[in-house]
Chains A and B, each alone.
Chain A
């Protein structure tokens, strides 16, 4: 610590205080005269609360407290005592940020609880962020999505304030909000050169045309998350145009409310092919929350999906198609399936999906020998292998103990099935 004090500084300070200084005292550092950049460096490691406490030590530290670098990122937490266990960002602090640091903010997120008032408060703050150059904006519902309960006009006008004023937005996460086509147009008109990431799963007021407009204009877009009903052949082609950078991630949520009520369209193989030609490395991530009988339109042709998550039961038939038609598959999670063991389907996936490195199986019954066969075929490339102990059906060839040692052998590391506490 001593080395950062220049000798002259400490001497000057001693002289100013005008006291006889003993030899031992002369080594006591004068924290008040630490250079700004050092204090700044230290402050970067402190929480806001600690910085605020430290800032009342002396004028110098207080100056540092307000240095713009320390106000680049801010997470507004908006909760109501009736709906959340967590505390809110203090209203005075919010006011101070809007008054003194709004122009410094670059990475802003809002975390709101399930209460509509919290989401409205977030919109009120958003509409005051006028003189900002925000790069990253995240609207995050920590419990039930409350932005959906805010009036659409209130939400949209608050959001467009940021879109219009910032003009350099690069990442936007607005899942589960009432964002609509016109507001996306405003986004595109002001930020088309900078936009790189857009997460907007479950935004029911956006239409396929609305998202197509983003893809057409924002050529730097590298990551996109949306619901399946917004996915179209046109969108994939737009993302594959020559002017467009390589897409890195495409996340698609496929959700249905009630069985049989939603008709799912299919995507042409030629559109997928165009996307992969343009962006050979792209991750295509699909989350499915469908009833078993709704899977028919999916994976009938070759689909370049890389990550698959099935939140509900999947039929054997569907898993069989995955083995046939998903050669780029990297990760697979199946939360549940029907009553019959999945042996053949898994073995086919091991055979055909050569890039598969991670698999998680929830309530999916597999026989021990079927599972062993699968592991043997995948071998060490399986960096993640997760299956519940309960669903492995012991058979004549393997007991649970043997499974543990055999699988460990094939993976080249110690492996156990997942266990759940027995009460």
Chain B
């Protein structure tokens, strides 16, 4: 006892810390928070919230509610440690200098933010803190790996295919173990000075205070907070253990609905540590399968997220088409009315509208449902820019993170990451295969409840008598389909092909059904030099000769191709055109962004000109 109090006495001179919460809204596996407490005399956990910003931001009410619930939960967990959360009204750059003085702060800690905007903000705060004589400690815990290490291993460029990413990961050490949860024992003598009027000054605001109208707002399908996240992960693992199958779960009608084992919003806000999830999965796999090395596919959900964080961390234009070196410029249509119909669930395709309704009401949709609506908006039917869809998801989707959201949209619209595009999801058939009965549609579009399963995915084809019996006349009570899918997909497949042909100078005319199938392992550099005979499949022979090898003097500008090279895993010959195409397209992409491709008029049909 005496010893302890002497230790605490010597801590009188110990530093006063601030831990700055942004994401990472948790007490478990929070290394930066640990650093704040370690050897400190006082700790104050702050979260910045700008009430002015709240009303005008493009985040929907579900996202705000989730965030506020996370903060409430954090506050109540901190109370158990005789501490509190300080929600600060204002902007970090304006408020921090005052806090440093008022609280005599000498240490600031926060979790590393890998996104370009966050890096910029944090650099400014770090500078400001150093000037005030405050030590800054930053720890990585939102991602499994240090993303810069992945990029370094790839020769300085982020990998652009998931396969490549997996290869890099498999060469790295496993992620670091989660650190222990903040506890009273760990706190030791470190205290949080809390004033009488704490709740008034620093309490978590309500939705109403932020200016949201909450009348008639249904209760949250996805309650926010670390406590909920930790309950869910146990349930998630129990179910996995019970199924004892670690393959990706097969899609069925049930998987479309919000599940009490779903984790993605919790990972997004950092209520759940990705490393905790990672190691719990590993342990479970070892226990059930009795083998020691789980396959990478076990961590699919975590690795995809990591992949997009890696791709975005050095690219401030990652969420744009223009000026984004990894995004193909596609001449999307600007069509605000069509966009509004999509966003407001009025497309006339029940499958699409039900998903968009679920998204707006609950804030989450299944990943294949995301594919369905994203494909419909972009390359499949409406030919509207992925950026517009991304913004709608940003508003409505609880787990939409800047990097993951933009990356997924680029992926699904075939704007990057070398996706093959021959297949468009059918807005009728896809849903019917997933949920033949149409219960999902009846749940979210009650107006269609009366339709029999036969017509519920294409009610406009139902005879008048069926529509009358269903008490829903198409064109009156529910819109007619806004596009003819067959016609739209014919046009759009053709346009996509044209774009990629232009990029890679393929000859057109039908022959090329597979233009872009490069999500495979890449080959050695020498394969690029492989004779042209390998290209005859694509009707390319003779065309390459007509293209200058250094386009527009930018031959050195293959911004990311070196990283895609990988030697010694494949036999050349068969796959040579993959590599050739990749490098070719890399160059083309580059040229695309620096010149408005006027110099090489990409004729889709090149054969008779020479």
Name A residues whose Cβ lies closer than 8 Å to a Cβ of B.
44-51, 73-75, 77, 79, 82-87, 106-107, 109, 111, 113-114, 135-136, 138, 140-145, 170-171, 173, 175-176, 196-197, 199, 201-202, 222-223, 225, 249, 251, 253, 255-259, 283, 285, 287, 289-290, 307, 309, 311-313, 331, 333, 335-336, 338-339, 357-358, 360, 362-363, 380, 383-384, 386, 388-390, 394, 399-401, 411-416, 418-423
Specify the main secondary structure of chain B where it touches its partner. Answer: loop
List B residues 82-139 near A (Cβ within 8 Å).
none
Q: Which of A50, A86, A170, A175 contacts B329 (CB 8 A)?
A: A86
Q: A107-B603, A335-B423 are in contact. Are A136 and B408 (CB under 8 A)?
A: no
CA distance A372 to B25 in the complex (A): 47
Does any Cβ of A come within 8 Å of B284's Cβ? no
List B residues 518-567 near A (Cβ within 8 Å).
519-521, 537, 548, 550-553
User: In the complex the two chains form, is A311's CB within 8 Å of B490's CB?
Assistant: yes
User: In the complex the two chains form, is B570's CB within 8 Å of A413's CB?
Assistant: yes
Q: Which of B247, B329, B332, B487 contacts A394 (CB 8 A)?
A: B247
B487-530 toward A: CB 8 Å interface, digit per residue (1/0)? 10111011100100000000011110110010111000000000
User: In the complex the two chains form, is B301's CB within 8 Å of A422's CB?
Assistant: yes
Size class of B's contact patch? Answer: 35 or more
A288 to chain B, nearest CB (A): 9
User: In the complex the two chains form, is B603's CB within 8 Å of A138's CB?
Assistant: yes
Q: A197-B607, A335-B422, A422-B367 are in contact. Are A45 and B574 (CB under 8 A)?
A: no
List, sorted by A's number, 29 A–B pairs whose CB atoms are closer than 8 Å: A44-B599, A45-B550, A50-B552, A85-B321, A87-B596, A107-B601, A107-B609, A136-B609, A138-B603, A171-B603, A225-B509, A251-B509, A257-B487, A289-B489, A333-B513, A333-B514, A335-B424, A336-B423, A336-B433, A360-B513, A363-B433, A386-B422, A390-B250, A416-B520, A419-B519, A421-B162, A421-B367, A423-B370, A423-B408
B270-310 toward A: CB 8 Å interface, digit per residue (1/0)? 00000000000000000000000001010011001001100
Residues in chain B near residue A111, CB distance under 8 A: 331
B603 to chain A, nearest CB (A): 6
User: In the complex the two chains form, is A83's CB within 8 Å of B486's CB?
Assistant: no
Q: Which of A82, A338, A386 contacts B420 (CB 8 A)?
A: A386
Q: A419-B162, A422-B367 are in contact. Are A171 and B605 (CB under 8 A)?
A: yes
User: In the complex the two chains form, is B608's CB within 8 Å of A363's CB?
Assistant: no
Which residue of chain A has the shortest Cβ distance to B499 in the bound complex?
A142
CA distance A257 to B486 in the complex (A): 7
Q: A50-B552, A223-B605 are in contact. Are A82 and B247 (CB under 8 A)?
A: no
Residues in chain A near residue B248, CB distance under 8 A: 389-390, 422
Which residue of chain B has the shortest Cβ distance to A312 in the bound complex?
B426
CA distance A14 to B491 in the complex (A): 61
Q: A399-B247, A413-B575 are in contact. Are A170 and B608 (CB under 8 A)?
A: yes
Which residue of chain B has the shortest Cβ distance to A423 in the bound complex?
B367
Q: A390-B248, A423-B404 are in contact. Are A83 and B334 (CB under 8 A)?
A: yes
Q: Which of B495, B569, B597 contacts A142 (CB 8 A)?
A: B495
List B residues 244-286 near A (Cβ within 8 Å).
247-248, 250-251, 264
Residues in chain B near residue A114, CB distance under 8 A: 333, 335
User: In the complex the two chains form, is B334's CB within 8 Å of A85's CB?
Assistant: yes
Does any Cβ of A come within 8 Å of B176's Cβ? no
Residues in chain B near residue A175, CB distance under 8 A: 494
B425 to chain A, nearest CB (A): 7
Residues in chain B near residue A136, CB distance under 8 A: 603, 605, 608-609
A173 to chain B, nearest CB (A): 6
CA distance A32 to B513 in the complex (A): 48
User: In the complex the two chains form, is B537's CB within 8 Å of A383's CB?
Assistant: yes
User: In the complex the two chains form, is A144's CB within 8 Å of B491's CB?
Assistant: yes
Residues in chain A near residue B519, CB distance under 8 A: 416, 418-419
Residues in chain A near residue B334, CB distance under 8 A: 82-85
User: In the complex the two chains form, is B490's CB within 8 Å of A47's CB?
Assistant: no
B407 to chain A, nearest CB (A): 8
Max chain B CB contacts within 10 Å: which of A48, A49, A414?
A414
Residues in chain A near residue B436, CB distance under 8 A: 339
Residues in chain A near residue B461, CB distance under 8 A: 258-259
CA distance A423 to B27 in the complex (A): 24
Residues in chain A near residue B597, CB distance under 8 A: 47
CA distance A225 to B490 in the complex (A): 14
